[in-house]
Amino acid sequence: MRVISGTCRGRQLRGPRGLGLRPTGDRLKETLFDILAPRLAQSVFVDGFAGTGAIGIEALSRGAREVVFIDSSREGIALLRQNLGICGLAEGFRVMQQDIFPALRSLGRLGFRADLIFLDPPYDWGPYRDLLDTLCSSSLVGPASLAILEHHRRAAIPESGPGYRCVRRVRQGDQCLSFYAALDGPSGSPPLRAAHEDL
């Protein structure tokens, strides 16, 4: 597991080793960041279910202004902090050791707004609609924000909900990335070529 591009390119990150984490694979991560590239510079990025921190660290490496890492596991947070140290990252981020729902609500109460929100719950996780409803009804999501959900291809993922819609879905094997935007958001960003793609 490594940082693919940017200022931390090539740094080898520590893996989970029995912590029950499932890091995003390098191929899917590269696809994700190829899609997000036009939006990353100086963005505010949320890495939900952060685990090793690999996604948020990649975002920082590629020019995000701030990353918020959220994970409920004490062991996962310790691993995340190790990986930040490996990459020499000492600023530009905050770490929240909380369950995802109270963490999102807490950020919302602070009036925090994110440009990009990446959510990678365990594949046997269930309340996807509740998660998206909570996120998209908060101040975290603005008209130009984009939320990305990583999930198994057979997961029951909503196409739309109150104030949001799925604008793109990318599949690699059994792994999928679903991209959600606000209903009143701009129709042309990021480069959303097709609603569903197999790569």
Q: Find the radius of gyration of the CA atoms of the chain.
A: 15
Residue the block writes with tokens 């604008």: 167
Burial of 112 (0-12, 13-18, 19+ CB in 10 A): middle
DSSP bridge pairs for 97: 71
- How much is the pLDDT for 1? 84
Distance CA 99, CA 97 (A): 7
Q: Determine if the peptide bond prior to 190 is cis (ω within 30°).
A: yes
Q: What is the DSSP letter of 12?
A: B
Sign for the CA dihedral angle at 130, 98, 37, 28 comes to negative
CA dist 131 to 42, 60, 156, 188, 198, Å? 26, 24, 13, 25, 25
Contacts 24+ apart (CB under 8 A), 155-164: 155/123, 155/128, 156/128, 157/128, 158/128, 158/129, 158/132, 161/129, 161/132, 161/133, 161/136, 162/133, 162/136, 162/137, 163/136, 163/137, 164/132, 164/136
Q: Give the 3-state secondary structure of residue 196.
A: strand
What are the structural domains of the chain?
26-198 (3.40.50.150)
DSSP annotation of 2 reads B
**How many other CB atoms are there within 10 angstroms of residue 165's CB atom?**
16
pLDDT at 5: 95
pLDDT (tens place) for every residue of the chain, 199 residues total: 899 999 999 999 998 765 555 677 788 999 999 999 999 999 999 999 999 999 999 999 999 999 999 999 999 999 999 999 999 999 999 999 999 999 999 999 999 999 999 999 988 888 999 999 999 988 999 999 999 999 999 999 999 999 999 999 999 999 999 999 998 754 434 444 444 566 5
Q: How many C-beta neighbours within 10 Å does residue 85 have? A: 11
